[in-house]
Structure 1
Amino acid sequence: MDLERMRALLAALQEARYAGVRSVSYDGKTIAYGSDAELAAAISDLETRIVTVTSGTPRRRRWGTVAAKGL
């Protein structure tokens, strides 16, 4: 899939999510998502693919653990 097509699909997915709709029609096809989490995962996947195509490397996430005694 080329970059422009991915950006157009990302825009369609974001518009659907912000409108509260879980189905998206694109290029004559309709995709229905079962939950907002599935739609969010599709958006995240497309964002990662776009970053990979434009920069050549996927973005990295850092995870850490924080603990406190709660005093």
Structure 2
Amino acid sequence: MAALSELADRLERLRKLRSSGRRAVDSEGEKVEYRSDAELAAAIADLERQIAAQAGKPPVRVVYINSSKGT
């Protein structure tokens, strides 16, 4: 597993890539091209999850409540 600082660097690069509107990045001689913004967003979310896990933070859970009047 990568070190926390390395994960943070990757996350920062992906965020800059997404904000620039590009989908390809060259890193350490490797070229990675994301097919869509959703795929890039998923990569960012995965890095955020890995960083949170290494930092000892519990995973974020979202609860959606759906109710009706029964009409």
Q: Give the number of the structure with larger relative contact order, counting CA–CA contacts within 8 Å between residues 6 or more apart.
A: 2
**TM-score category, normalised to shorter length:** 0.7 to 0.9
Instruction: Provide runs of 4+ in structure 1 moved above 4 Å.
Output: none
Give 1:3's aligned residue. Answer: 4
Quote the residue 2:46 is aligned against.
45
Cα deviation, residue 36, structure 1: 0.2
Whole-Å Cα distance in 2 between the matches of residues 24 and 58 of structure 1?
Answer: 30
Q: Structure 1-normalised TM-score?
A: 0.83
Percent identity between matched residues is 37
What secondary structure does 2:25 align onto?
Answer: strand
- Whether 1:13 aligns to 2:14 is yes
- 1:63 maps to a residue whose letter is V
Contact 1:48–1:58 under 8 Å retained in 2: no
Unpaired runs of at least 5, structure 2: none
Listed as ranges, the gaps of 5+ residues in structure 1 are none
Q: CA RMSD in A?
A: 1.5
Q: How many residues align?
A: 68
Question: TM-score when scaled to structure 2?
Answer: 0.83
Structure 2 match to 1:67:
67
